[in-house]
Chains A and B, each alone.
Chain A
Amino acid sequence: MSLKVESTPQTDVLAPPPLRLIDDTGHAVAESESGGFTLPPVETLLGLYRQMVMARRFDVQVTALTRQGRLATYPSALGQEGCEIASVASLAPQDWLFPTYRDSIALLTRGVEPKDILAAFRGDWHSGYDYRKFHIAPQATPLATQALHAVGLATASKLKRDDTVALTLLGDGATSEGDAHEAFNFAAVWQAPVVFVVQNNQFAISVPLDKQMACRTIADKAIGYGMPGYYVDGNDVAAMYAVVSAAMDRARNGGGPTLIEGLTYRIEAHTNSDDPTRYRKSADVDLWRSRDPIERLEKYLVAQGALTDELNAEILAAAEELATTTRDCMTEQAVIDPLELFEHVYSTPRASLAEQRAFLAAELADDAAASALISEESTR
């Protein structure tokens, strides 16, 4: 008898088609192909459409501001609105979101003001919104570390017998990190009420997914952890919303974690300092532009008679207003007191930090005195 377990690399096995409820051409798929999920009601889809349009406009505006050199950096989520907006729309008010640096539009959709989202990217502080009000953790920069925080918070909710669920957004590259593995495993072992949404935008900066893993899909990995996994068309916001909402419900009702992979594409560069022409063909980008999540839903809603020209114009006008607000908030630069650098490191005051704070305060006072002297002399 052989104890050998058959386990051949699956690289030559094609991935199945991702689950979708509305196809590329904007038509609802047949019920037999919808994996047991139901198309959300038109009112819900209209709401998702509006949020995607707003998010897109914000993203384009912030990218423009970054190109003008007014922000230190901005990782765009252009093209990923289906995953982002479906995830946020699936949250109940008590739920917590654990986003990454690429998920600024998720923050926007949950109600964070543009000026507070941009605080970190324009360099005011490392993060700048009200975490407890919005139930959003700081945007994580190290990869996959926030997934463990989400599992911990979800487990605490379970221990307290609350109905709070945590949702964390991850990228495809992040699934190679040990912390992603530990998060999936802890969540499954502890049956934590947490949902992992992996946005497979196909590149980790420049490295394609086939250099990250040898299995068919990221969703396939779920079986190894003992949790449900779903491979979804991430550019079909209807499918993403149906699957993520169902996973949130299951988590809330004691059914444990779910791993959801949304297949999508990062249309923009990784950040403004990246040059994607070095690692991908423009034809690929064009192909994915043609699979745009907003256009797809627009076609469907127009065909349903739910999205009139008038309504669309109203939504676009609201998006323009948001762009204006976003531009305007850049002119109101926050004034940060350098002495605040010492305020938040510890809750218990430290003598050594008080000394260093006094040192900086003296330097600032000297600088101010010198500037005053110079301006006095120049006016003489």
Chain B
Amino acid sequence: MSEHLLSTRGLGRDAAVALLDIAEDMADTQQRQVKKLPTLRGTTVVNLFFEDSTRTRISFEAAAKRLSADVITFSAKGSSVSKGESLQDTAQTLQAMGADGIVIRHQASGAAEVLASSGWTRAGIVNAGDGTHEHPTQALLDAFTIRKRLHGAASRGRDLDGVAVVIVGDVLHSRVARSNVWLLTALGAAVRLVGPPTLLPGAVGGWPVTAGIDLDEAIDAGPDVVMMLRVQRERMTEAFFPSAREYAALYGLSSARAARLPERSLVMHPGPMNRGLEIAGEVADSPRSTVLEQVENGIAVRMAVLYDVLAGRRGAA
């Protein structure tokens, strides 16, 4: 159905629902006696990670292995070659080695797109996070998790029409937030971004969302989902907020704030969490938290994405 998965921007409602439905079927296979599927036998998937990410890499690796693909992990971090050349050389090397699919994480926004359109490789490209641009599989697993919590076994075929989602924190540096904005709104959800003015991107006005700086106001509106973003210390080269303590006080999801949410409200976090900073440990471990479900669902969603991009005839979609 798709040649590549580079972003959630432009992914339509029906295509997104179809992908989530395949993920449902993949999740079901993981309840079987034999969890391994023969589907991608003979297919080679390269995990090309220019940036550290143990969780995402392991999740993709597990997904590819459950589908019987051969997995090669290429950790390109620390390469001294300048970025553009390095990406080209690496891609051409992987093409020569016979990679059918490349899962790429890169610190530069647009790296996955470059790889897909460069002609350096014919492999199917899956974006596992590029700079501050997108992280589409994270958004898909978030949408999957919300849908599953709301509709359970009756999730197939449904979108997220009317679901109120608040995304809180460092939106400026967050590819997770960007991918979620496009995907969740395509699925019919109403998205509100909340964060300190210094961490909300200037372009928010052009996105199909509302934005604000007051977390308490957003909590008291009784959202269905509160998605906390990780404070990305490693991406911050200047002071975006005065202190961690002030950030936690204004934008952290404390137990007191969580207690004001309606019973049905979910709390999500893409991990890894800074407990006590953007989310209180007690909230992260509470029944409304989906943190571990997100990790579990991530494998099924990535199986669906790898299947979608790699199982069919290349060049036929």
Q: Do A and B bind each other?
A: no
